[in-house]
């Protein structure tokens, strides 16, 4: 795998996003409108509800932002990549780019969420660490799902079907880990959940790295 090719592919995605700003603007509108609707709907909010609603908003933001990774690429561009890059370079570049994008989106979402609905997280550092691991999980999972869905004629319709069984376990772990971070419990009780998140991310990334070349040849 050529690191220069990976860097060039990441720069291409960054430059494309900077020119059109479609993803960031769309996610900002989605996040602000979602938080505002929650603010109008829930006059009083406890910590578990605050935590669950945040992850639901972030999940849909990730779906809109990251899931278009391969579906948004034209067939001509993918054919061009087929001749100049290896499949491992493409999937690694996509995962890195989508991870960076997802981290930015998550931090923006959390900032807007805290400003409008207050901050219930007692251990802010641990909560942000959970958000970081969740962003990696969302980005890597949706990147791989997008690569599979792009092979069908109805990729946008296939995304929810493929993503549901993969994302739900991750979402449950994130809600559990972030709730512990909010409650301010001892870090030793939070470490097992964080390790599960790390293991999940490693497994998903390795699966994408190993299986994408076979999908790419098809």
Provide, for the chain, the percentages of residues in helix, strand and coil under a 3-state DSSP scheme, each rounded to the nearest 5.
85, 0, 15
**Could you tell me the pTM of the whole model?**
0.85
Judge contact between 110 and 131, C-beta under 8 A: yes
Q: How far lies 18's CA from each of 22, 101, 116, in Å?
A: 9, 12, 27
> Which tens digit of pLDDT belongs to each residue from 134-179?
999 998 888 888 777 776 666 566 676 777 788 888 888 998 888 8
The total domain count for the chain is 1
| Residues 163/142, Cβ–Cβ less than 8 Å | yes
pLDDT of amino acid 70: 66
Task: Report the candidate in 98, 99, 105, 101 with the shortest Cα–Cα distance to residue 34.
Answer: 105
Domain encompassing residue 212: 3-217
At 83-95, the pLDDT tens digits run: 677 778 888 888 8
Please calculate the CA angle 72-60-136 and round it to the nearest 5 degrees: 75
CA angle 179, 180, 182 (to 5 degrees): 65
- List the pLDDT tens digit at each of the 218 positions of the chain: 667 777 777 777 777 777 776 767 777 788 888 888 888 887 777 888 888 888 988 888 887 777 666 665 666 666 666 667 777 888 888 888 888 888 988 888 888 888 888 888 778 888 899 999 999 999 888 888 877 777 666 656 667 677 778 888 888 899 888 888 887 777 777 888 889 999 999 998 898 888 877 776 66
Contact 145, 66 (CB under 8 A): no
Please classify residue 10 by burial: count the beta carbons closer than 10 Å to its beta carbon, then call 0-12 exposed, 13-18 middle and 19+ buried.
middle
């Amino acid at each position: 795998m050529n690191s220069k090719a990976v860097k060039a592919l990441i720069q291409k995605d960054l430059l494309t996003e900077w020119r059109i700003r479609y993803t960031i603007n769309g996610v900002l509108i989605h996040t602000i409108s979602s938080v505002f609707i929650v603010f109008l709907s829930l006059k009083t909010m406890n910590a578990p509800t605050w935590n669950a609603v945040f992850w639901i908003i972030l999940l849909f933001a990730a779906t809109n932002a990251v899931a278009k990774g391969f579906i948004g690429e034209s067939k001509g561009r993918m054919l061009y990549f087929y001749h100049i890059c290896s499949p491992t370079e493409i999937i690694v570049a996509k995962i890195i780019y989508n991870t960076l994008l997802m981290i930015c989106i998550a931090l923006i979402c959390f900032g807007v969420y805290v400003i409008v609905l207050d901050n219930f997280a007692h251990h802010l550092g641990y909560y942000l660490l959970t958000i970081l691991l969740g962003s990696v999980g969302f980005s890597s999972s949706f990147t791989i799902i997008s690569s599979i869905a792009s092979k069908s004629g109805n990729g946008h319709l296939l995304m929810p079907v493929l993503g549901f069984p993969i994302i739900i376990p991750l979402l449950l772990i994130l809600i559990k880990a972030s709730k512990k971070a909010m409650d301010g419990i001892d870090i030793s009780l939070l470490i097992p959940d964080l390790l599960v998140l790390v293991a999940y991310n490693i497994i998903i990334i390795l699966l994408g790295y190993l299986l994408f070349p076979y999908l790419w040849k098809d």
